[in-house]
Structure formats: structure tokens, C-alpha cells
Amino acid sequence: MKIGLAVAPENALPSAFVVFRDKLEISLAKAARLGYDGVELALLDPQQVDRRRIRAALAEHGLGLPVISTGQVFSEGKVWFTHPEERIRRAAVERIKGLIDLAAEFGAMVNIGRVRGYIHEGETHEVAEGRFLAGLAECADHAAAAGVTMILEPVNRYEINYINSVPQAVAALGKLGRPNVKVMPDTFHMNIEDVSITGSLAAASALVGYVHLADSNRWAPGQGHLDFPAIIAALRSIGYDGYVTAEILPYPDPDTAAQQAIAYLRQVIQ
């Protein structure tokens, strides 16, 4: 497995759950010095990055770019797939398509977290899911044409009220029917929502496309009470050999958090 770190440009809002929020050349240099294999890039819009400069920085530091994450499209862009207004749904789809086009240039995946939206007051699960699946299907077809995989991230009930657990994500993808859309388990959310972290990973099996690692308190792995040796063993047992990326809070400070995460995970992932 490879180990990644979630980062964002210096103008990203605090709602971007990343360790380094800085000029990307600086963040990439730090990640490489610490020993990370790659970085996940949290973006609101493709225009936030200079493609040439990012490509050069990745090459200079020998880093991969496995995923472009989209949480800011929801939190800052204020658009999502389940919105009652068609123009808002349309804006969400077009924004995600733009990020898919960017991801295609780097061989990256695109995550769908809170941008899927939520079940609005007075509406049913079925109505929300119909809107979500329609938007995701359009994006997935766009992604398939570009050779891009998408990954659906379950998010806990305190942040959103739709698709909270890995089994719920698996069920939604069964209705979607797009082979280029996988599940993206996140151990922080799983600790809240899933009956068993290792059990959910085993049940999702081949659908697992990418993994976020954070401890029970969303600090670096090893700073809470989750059993990461068992989690890594469960991933190995299903044949997962992709990135496990630290999406953690920058506590007690960004540099310490990033160092703690890589030091602990290198011990667990031999």
C-alpha cells in the first residue's frame, strides 16, 4: 500500500479537512520530505491550480496524485446533487465534470463526499436518491470517457443525513450500475456509523477503491483508539493495495500531525 496526505491550496476554507493549507509547492515538498508517497488534493474549482506547476512539483518530489477531493464544492460552492432546484443540481454536476477533466490529466480519481447532498426537510429518501443517482450517473459517464474512476465516500450523520455507512454506499452503487464508481471508506466516519470497520471492509471487498485513515478523534492515526493493525490486515485480506491517505485535523499543529501520521503508518504498513 501507498501512503498519502490530504492537502489544499492556501485559500481553502477551514472546512477543507487537510493538514497542510499552503502554496502547493510548499506542501508537496513537505510531504515528500516526510516520506509520503502521494498527496490528495482538495479543490473547489480546477482553476485553483496551475497544472504545469503542479505537474512539475509532483515530478520533482516523486509524488503521486491519487485523488482530487470535492468537499469544498459543497461547503464553499454551495451546490450539491440532491438540491431541490434543478439549476443548483446542474451547477454541481458541471463543477464535478470540471474536476474530472483535471483528474484525467494526472491519472487521479475524483471523490464524491458531501457534494452528493442530503435529504431535504419534507422530502423522502427516494426523492433525494433519485436526484443523486441521476447526477452521479452523468458524472460517471463523463468520467468513464476520460478514463477516470470516481469514489463515493460515506460521511457520518453529524455532517450529512444521506449515505452515512459503507453498506449504504454499496447499496447506492448497486442501484447506480456504473463500474467506474467505487466506495471510499473513511475510518473516522466508519467509527461512528459502521457496526464493524473490518466487517464493512470485508463486505465491500472489490468495491473499495480508496481509503481515508484518521483516528477516532480525527487526529493522526495512532492518536486515538482505532485498531489500525486490524484495519490494514482487513484491507490486505480483500486484496486492497492502493493508497491509504491521512485526512486528519492539523492538531496539535500541521507539521506534527503530518509527521505523526507517516511515522505511525510506516510502522503498521510493512
d(CA 84, CA 68): 26
Proportion of the chain in helix, strand, coil states, percent, rounded to 5: 50, 15, 40
Residue 126 among the catalytic residues = no
List the one residue out of 179, 237, 248 whose CA is nearest residue 212: 248
Residue 249 · residue 18 · CB < 8 Å: no
Residue 251 · residue 221 · CB < 8 Å: no
Residue 247 among the catalytic residues = yes
User: Which is catalytic among the residues 40, 129, 153, 193?
Assistant: 153
Helix axes 166-176, 125-146, angle to 10 degrees: 70
197: part of which helix (H) or strand (E)? helix 197-204
User: Which is catalytic among the residues 40, 129, 193, 247?
Assistant: 247
User: What amino acid positions are annotated as catalytic residues?
Assistant: 153, 247
